Structures are given as C-alpha cells and as structure tokens.
Amino acid sequence: MSGTWSGEPAAPTDADPRRWWGLVVIALAQLMVVLDATIVNIALPSAQRDLGMSDGNRQWVITAYTLAFGGLLLLGGRVADLVGRKRTFVIGLIGFAAASALGGAAATPAMLFGARALQGVFAALLAPSALSLLSTTFSDPRERARAFGIYGTLAASGAAAGFIVGGVLTEYLNWRWCLYVNIPFAVAAVIGAYTLLRDRPGHGGARLDVPGVLLGCGGLVALVYGFGEAQPRGWSDPLVLALFAGSVVLLAAFVWWQTRAPMPLLPLHIIRDRNRAGCMVTMMLAVIGMFGMFLFMTYYLQVVLAYSPLMTGLAFLPMTASILTGSTQISARLLPRVGPRMLMVPGMLLASGGMVILTQMTVDSSYASEILPALILMGLGMGLTFMPVFSTATAGVAPRDSGVTSATVNTSQQIGGSIGTALLNTIATGTSASWIASRLTDPTRREQVVREGIVHGYTVAIWVAAGIMLLAALVAGLMVTAKAPRHDAPADEPVPEPVA
C-alpha cells in the first residue's frame, strides 16, 4: 500500500459514560458466535435421528459452520473497515439471527447444512467488527486490560459454555432450540448497538481486493476442508492430498498478490509485526490443543463414564470458572504491569500440565480426583493466555486496519480449532483401532477392550496436544517481546503504514 498513515484521530470514546454498556453489547454478540461453534455438538445425535442424516454426512453440521467462518473472516474484517464497524456489526447480527431461524426450522439435512454455512458467513462479519469496536472503544491501558479480560474470557470459555447450554436445551426442550436461542440474543444486541455504540464512517470510496478474497479464502477453505476430510478418508487419500496441495498454492499466491495489490485484503505490515505474529501463532496452537480436549472429554464423559448430556456440560463448569479467574482476576490486573509473554508462557505451561494429567485417565477414572484438577489447570492457563493475546494483537493498529487485524486474530482461532479437531481425532481413532485389533483375542472381553482402546486413543492424542501447548509457550516466549502498556499513552497509537 502506497503512502503513509493518514493521521486519523482515535475515536473519542473513552469519555463516553456508556462505553461499559457498549462492552455488554459487544460481549453478548461475541458470546453468541463462540457458543454456536459448540452448542450443537451435544444436540447432534438428536438432530441426526430427527432429520435422518447418515453417519458420513452428520459432520457437516459442524464443518459447514467452521469452514464458512474461518474461510471468510479476512473478508469480513476488510468489509468492516470499508463499510464501517457498527454497520457491519448490525448486518452480521441480523443475518446470524435469520440463519439460526432457518436452521431451527430445517426439515432436511441439506437445509440444516445450508443454514449452518450461512451462520458462518454472518459470523465472519460479526466477529471482527465486534473485536474492532472493542479495540477502538477502550484506549486507556487499565480500562483496555479490563475490557479485553472480559472479551478474552468469552472467547476462551464460550466453547465450554456451549456444551452446557446445548445439554440443557437438548435435554429439556429439543435440539432445534440450540439454534433458536440465538434469536433473542441477536435482537437485544441490535437494539443495544443502535443506542450505545459509536463508530466513524467506513472508507466508502475504497474497493475490495477481489483476487485476494478468492485466493485467501479459497486457500483457507481448502486447508480446513482437507483437515476435516482427513479423518474419514485418511491422510494419504488423493482428495485430501489435493486439498492440501491446493491450499499451499492458493495461500502462496495470496501472499504474492498482497505485495502487489493496490488495496490488499491483508496488508502484510500487519503480520510482519513480531508481537502480533507471535500472538496469532500462539492463539492457533493453543486452540488446536483446546478443541481436541473438548472433543475427547465430551465423548469420554458421555460414552465411557455414561454421563448425561447435561451432566457432561456441568462437568465443564469448573474449567469455565477457572478461565474467568485467570482472565479477569489475574491477566487483566497484571497486564498493565508486566509484558504479555510473562502471562502467556506460564499460561501455556499450566494448560500443558493439565493435559499431561489427563493422559493418565482410564476407563474407571474418578472425576473429582483425576479429571477436575486437569480442567482447572487448563482453564487457568487459557485465561492467562487469551486475554493478553487479544489485547496485544490488536494494539497499535491504524484505525483503517483494525477490522482486518481483528479478523486475522479470529481466523487463527478458527483455523486452529479446525486443525485440532481433525488432527487429534485422526490420531485418536487410528491409535484406538490398532490397540483394539492387537488385543481383541477373547470375544467375552470385547466391550471392555473396546472401551480401553478408546481411552488409550484419547490419551495418546492428548499427549500430542500437550506437546502443542508447549510449542505455544515457546513461540510466545521467543516472539512476543512487547513491554507492559505505558500508563501515560494510549494503547492504540496507530502504527504508520510503510512507504511503498
């Protein structure tokens, strides 16, 4: 991009006494988006029976959402910059509510799959505009730390809360309410956005980078779809290999084009910043491990320990509470005084330690003495990590780029979750199958051997997740060198764009 930063003043929002109510609106929208990534997991068996989905097709209820969400986030972030954050935020809310109503009323599997994809499209508009509004609303370091503490808590604990809400709605109403529940949230957030949020107009004269959209989004969709298909087809399947090869080619072409596009979708100076790049890689690695853990623990509690959907959701509550504690009571208080890596590295080490504890679980493990301590450690670790990641990655960005920066942070989260689910589930199922085949010699012990094999597969995959968490700690320690925010300067002082 040619020229220098235009010197746009920061939005004068810190003097607005309604800014904390505005945070409630932003947080409500973010919670809705994050919840929807997992809320249907527990409801999926009921939806499958009701609509007659096959075992091979049922995965699209989850994959259609994550593919559209992760693949279009960069576009959503740039649209927010061009059209205006508040306007994009409201459009995203209305579209998400409409797609939720369509999914709740689905009469066929295809209708549900399409509705979930539409939810992902509008979530890709909603999530980056929400984070962008947050980063431009709070510039005082102490208020910014507190606001991002709340936002980071929702990002980290929303997935776990989705299991709880999904369990309650499925058990006491039916699976369709896991989609209908979004409608009142969206209506409240739209009303709040019109009355409480302020934003400068978008850059209406600018144009979208259409080739960048096609190359970047196509590459991300191919990558996520490839990992999703690796589980049922196998890593050496020609389609999977073709998807990975296509993803590499498309993403390489995307990077090449961004250096030449007159108005790039992703200005590369955003990710050239060492601290921002370190935060995004740390986020992606952390979520790889976290999503894998959610998947395995949900099946472990329901299939192996025979918990009900509601009890499974409640079993995640201590983790949610520890995420809240780590984010709002520890990270938010310490970030104004210490560098972000002083929180992120210990956070990832704690999360990895919790994973190591889970590797010791068996078919007869006690929740209170063996599962609960691990969940608490992982929750504290995630709370310590996510809050400084969101705050540091979006600090110091020129206002015109705040939306696309927010989208890049969210993209790293969604892509990490997709990779983690596919990679770790493939490791678990492959290990389980080999273990069971080598030990299934006595037909009378078949059920016990299968249960033991399933748990063995989980523990092997969790060992891999623990290693990924350690890698996240290493990346944070080496790449994130930012100092604690200065108390005498705004936290979002724009970074000049380089001269072409």
From CA 25, how far away is CA 20, in angstroms rounded? 9
The pLDDT of residue 421: 74
Give the angle 135-138-141 at the CA atoms, nearest 5°.
105
Answer whether 225's CB lies under 8 Å from 99's CB.
no
Question: What φ, ψ does residue 5 adopt, rounded to 5°?
Answer: -60, 140
Using the predicted structure, report yes or no on whether residue 8 has a pLDDT greater than 80: no
pTM, to two decimals: 0.75
The pLDDT mean for the chain works out to: 79
Nearest to 355 by CA among 469, 461, 466, 458: 466
pLDDT digit string, tens, across residues 383-403: 898 888 877 887 777 766 666
Q: Which residue has the higher pLDDT, 237 or 135?
A: 237
Contacting residues for 124 by C-beta, under 8 A, at least 6 apart: 68, 69, 71, 72, 73, 75, 76, 92, 407
- For 108, 162, 310, 313, 428, the CA distances from 170, given in Å and listed in that order, are 19, 12, 8, 11, 27
The pLDDT of residue 439: 80
Quote the tokens at residue 141.
């370091």
The pLDDT of residue 14: 43
Answer whether 157's CB lies under 8 Å from 318's CB.
no
Using the predicted structure, report yes or no on whether residue 152 has a pLDDT greater than 70: no
Using the predicted structure, report yes or no on whether residue 76 has a pLDDT greater than 60: yes
pLDDT digit string, tens, across residues 21-31: 777 788 778 77
pLDDT digit string, tens, across residues 80-118: 777 888 888 899 999 999 999 999 999 999 999 999 989
Using the predicted structure, report yes or no on whether residue 261 has a pLDDT greater than 70: yes
